[in-house]
Amino acid sequence: MRDINGKKIKVNQDVLVPDPSSKFGDMWQHSFQGVVDTIREDCGLVTVVDGDGDCWDVEPDRLEVV
């Protein structure tokens, strides 16, 4: 899977998660930097863990590798 800039996303990478969008049904409150926990090829999502230890499933093309 690749990020918004075409960079390959890998487990344990730092990524920027964008501001939430009602279009995607996002549940987080604001943009944040997190760490890739799981790459879910089966459903096309990347699980990102934030600084509080909460997990969020995000479309890879919305992420930006730091």
**37: containing domain:** 14-65
pTM for the complete prediction? 0.92
Predicted local confidence at residue 7, as pLDDT: 98
Assess contact for 56 and 27: CB atoms under 8 A. yes
How far apart, in whole angstroms, are the C-alpha atoms of residue 49 and residue 66? 14
Q: Decide if 1 is inside a domain.
A: no
**2 in a structural domain:** no
* Residue-level pLDDT at 26: 87
Count of domains in the chain? 1
Domain assignment present for residue 51? The answer is yes
Residues 33, 42: Cα–Cα separation, whole Å: 24
Residue listed under structure tokens 């075409």: 6
Percentage of residues in the chain with pLDDT exceeding 90?
86
What is the per-residue pLDDT for 28? 87
Question: How does strand 45-49 pair with strand 55-58?
Answer: antiparallel
Question: Could you read off the pLDDT of 16-63 as tens digits, one per residue?
Answer: 999 999 888 888 899 999 999 999 999 999 999 999 999 999 999 999
Indicate which CATH number applies to the domain containing 41. Answer: 2.30.30
H-state helical runs in 1-66:
none
pLDDT reported for residue 55: 97
